Amino acid sequence: MTGRLLLIRVIVVLVALLGVNYVVWRWLFSVSWDAWWIGVPLVMAETYSLVDSLLFGLTMWRLRDRGEPPPAPEGLTVDVFIATYNEPIELVMDTARAAQAIRYPHRTWVLDDGNRAELREAAEAEGIGWLTRSADWAGMPRHAKAGNLNNALLHTDGEFMLILDADQVPKPEILDRTLGFFTDEQMALVQTPQWFVNVPDNDPLGSQAPLFYGPIQQGKDGWNSAFFCGSNAVIRREALMQLGISRYAQETADGVRRALRASKKVVEAAQADLGPDEQHVREALDSILYDLGRAKRSLDRGDALFDVTYQFQQRLADVRRQLVAADLSALQADLAVIADLEGGLIELDAEFAADAGADDAGGVRAGDSVPVLSDVAIEQLAGRDWSPLGAVQSVMTLVSAVDVDRAGEAQPIMPLATISVTEDMATCMRLHGLGWRTAYHDEILAIGLAPEDLPTMLTQRLRWAQGTVQVMFRENPLLQRRLRWTQRLMYFSTMWSYLSGFAALVYIAAPVVYLTVGVLPVQAFSGDFFIRLVPFLVLNQLLFWVVADGRPTWRGQQYSLALFPVWIKSFTSAFGNVFLGRDLDFAVTPKTGRTDERLRWDLVRPQLWAMGALVAAAVIGVVRLAVGQATWLGAGVNLIWVVFDLVIFSVVVQAVRYRGFTPATDPAIDPATVPEVARGGASS
């Protein structure tokens, strides 16, 4: 263990002890129940922040720096995928040319989801492969980038795939520096950082994410939880195909299980209607219930799905034939009884037929003989219960209706996850669930283009957040039994962080409420309060400082609060999509520079309202202090809080005013100018 990791662990333990001590004390002794409407939300927000801090500490506990990568084995086959939709053709071709120049033998493919003839012509003219969706995708769900990659997987055959976004220009050594990790036969994926060449030093849009593409991914790597980030990653085809096939089998088996459960209810309902004289029918239905149970047990044992369903349907067909034969025998007996019944056939004269409306119904004339079932015969036939046979037919329909061919999809096997607008996290979580390993290699091996204006940045952040929250709702990692508990927490920590928007609302409201109307959300600003809170806050920041190891992290901390409307929208829109069936529009992040010269203050209107409320509250608080309606301690603490919030929100003002990257020269993206590792300094 290195000295730095030991120091990190000591600080993590202290932060956890101090944080738990503070929050427990707050709940038990410090909540202002007289002002519960602000006191309870505040302590809930503090509890949220403590959980966030504990998850961060757990992530850092096993921070792993892999150092120099193993040498790449010779003779591997690699496909380089460049996913594109509507990006400028020259931008895509710059990336494709750089990909073609990668030193390790490979094949380069442009995956053109826009199906542009001019891009195909440009790629093929330079010997670069070009792929678009097959005709099977017409009229089917497209699944955005995941669908594009899934289509390409079935049209290529490389053992490994390097996945790049259209603007991520790879270095020539990218495969030499990553393929060596795959000498571990259980290694499914190697992720490298995303670093952007068009970001100024002050990074007003928070694009570089040096804390995530560094300590956070390294920490997750220590728990075998480093995950796929959509680009700049090498993936083993075998792992993806195993995932696709296993998911297909699992989801089909789940469909059969649902059909078996529904079938059991149908049969039990039919049994409930049986009379005491229908013992043969009851026995037939009992045999179906037994077969339903046997089919379920076979699935649980892992027996072949086709064999289970085929055998069950054969047994069901036998029971159906038995019931049909029994019904035919009963019908023949009924007809024989009807023929012998007195009054079974009634002669109707013309007058009776006219009264009965027979002329209208069948043109009966006077003197005709009309065969009509008597009341006795009608009662006898009406008394028969045909529902058992209907129940059997329903069971056969339910089981046979399971969509084995996935008629609603372009292809039955979908290796990359399609459950969210981002394919990366869910795919990697499923790979970990199958027992595969992943690695994070902290060396910049591809460089890209970050958003150059606020609208583009907000589009990108919203999509990332929506995709993450969708995965949380659909496949909550805490409920994934195949994951180790540490892996569950590593995935959950990323999802948990996107709930910070709700806590931010409380952190804005609390000082405003006190400074304007004097309502204190805590019982008192006592010595007990400060002696518990201040050390926790100081050590928490110290942990960030030690973990960062010289990387700039302040901008990321600002945006975690300043983008609270985006985080809240991501939660509500993903909830509406998953649980209410509402559409969730997918927007590709534009790769071109800004064209709108307006200052888009409208995009940060909630933040501006928050800043206005904070400033107004500060003014009112000072006035209340001057006239003796507030204490120096209470007003001072909340004024400091207001200043801190305003400093946080100042980043959105910079973002609105940012006019795009203007380098001293106008370089193309040149890999030679990029730092070797994400921290921009020393070797990893």
Q: Tens of pLDDT along 336-370?
A: 666 665 444 444 444 444 454 444 444 444 444 44
Which is nearest to 117 in space by CA: 129, 130, 127, 128?
A: 130
- Residue 202 CA to its chain's centroid (Å): 32
CATH topology classification for 78-246+413-452: Spore Coat Polysaccharide Biosynthesis Protein SpsA; Chain A (3.90.550)
Domain ranges of the chain: 3-61+487-660, 78-246+413-452, 341-384
pLDDT of residue 681: 33
Dihedral pair phi/psi, residue 470, rounded to 5°: -60, -45
| Separation in Å, CA 661 to CA 167, 168, 198, 274, 449 | 16, 17, 6, 79, 10
Q: Quick one: pLDDT at residue 155?
A: 94
pLDDT of residue 621: 96
Q: How far apart are CA 527 and CA 206, in angstroms?
A: 37
Q: What pLDDT is attached to residue 382?
A: 45
Residue tagged 């050390």 (tokens):
535
The DSSP output letter for 602 is G
Q: Per DSSP, what are the bridge partners of residue 84?
A: 112
| Lookup result for tokens 């997987």 | 153
pLDDT of residue 352: 45
pLDDT on residue 673: 53
Tokens standing for 367?
């003197």
pTM for the model: 0.83
CA 55 to chain centroid, in Å, comes to: 20
Q: Which residues of the chain have pLDDT under 50?
A: 342-354, 356-375, 377-386, 665-668, 677-684
The one-letter amino acid code at 362 reads G
Residue 594 confidence (pLDDT): 58
